[in-house]
Structure 1
């Protein structure tokens, strides 16, 4: 396809688009001329119905509140601004909440998961060592359990 043919086909497509836009504009104008001033009807949206909620029955009219009248808006606004500017004094201040955290709190938080994994692996390793000793018959069961307990206590002491 040569450049002339490409340009010709592009021009044709542009003319088709212009025609489609003209048709859509005409349809939109026809809808507007029919008395539909809002665009809501073009999309088949329901129009809101404004209703008066004042009772029409005389017995009900007696029991309703009187119509509201606007109050002194400036005074209300001044009162609210004054209350916003007023400083709140804290009578009791809990100093423990204001104490800074230890400098290594974030490191402890980040390392906690890794330490949990290591604790689990350590417990598994201890259990495997006990099983191996039992299989070899080097020590009796009570002695092996005692050694394992001592090892875990030593690990706890070393961690502190």
Structure 2
């Protein structure tokens, strides 16, 4: 775009802006003739008069909930009386809370107990076969074999 073209485009925009401003001026004068306020009543074309508090009956939340609090309190008291039965208060099993609290500890102990039982069984089996790493278990296994041999020798006699 050349400088002449840019200048012509700018002149056209300025001319359009001037026309628009001139047109708005006429509209503004028409708008000024109509009063636009919150207190203006367009039907009577006068200002609204302020109403006193006694003349206007307003629907408020307080009126809607009037007496609701007392009703809720009465219903709550009736419900508490019904729920106060001793059968509803006492748990079905008196030790349910103890079982709940000790369940984690007991599960750990049960696992360790099972491991200990398995190791004892393995040691006894190994001792019976004479493959025990435990010196006492090996000596016991030899003593058991001697007793079995002596018993079988005495039975043969």
TM-score by length of 2: 0.31
Larger Rg: 2
TM-score by length of 1: 0.30
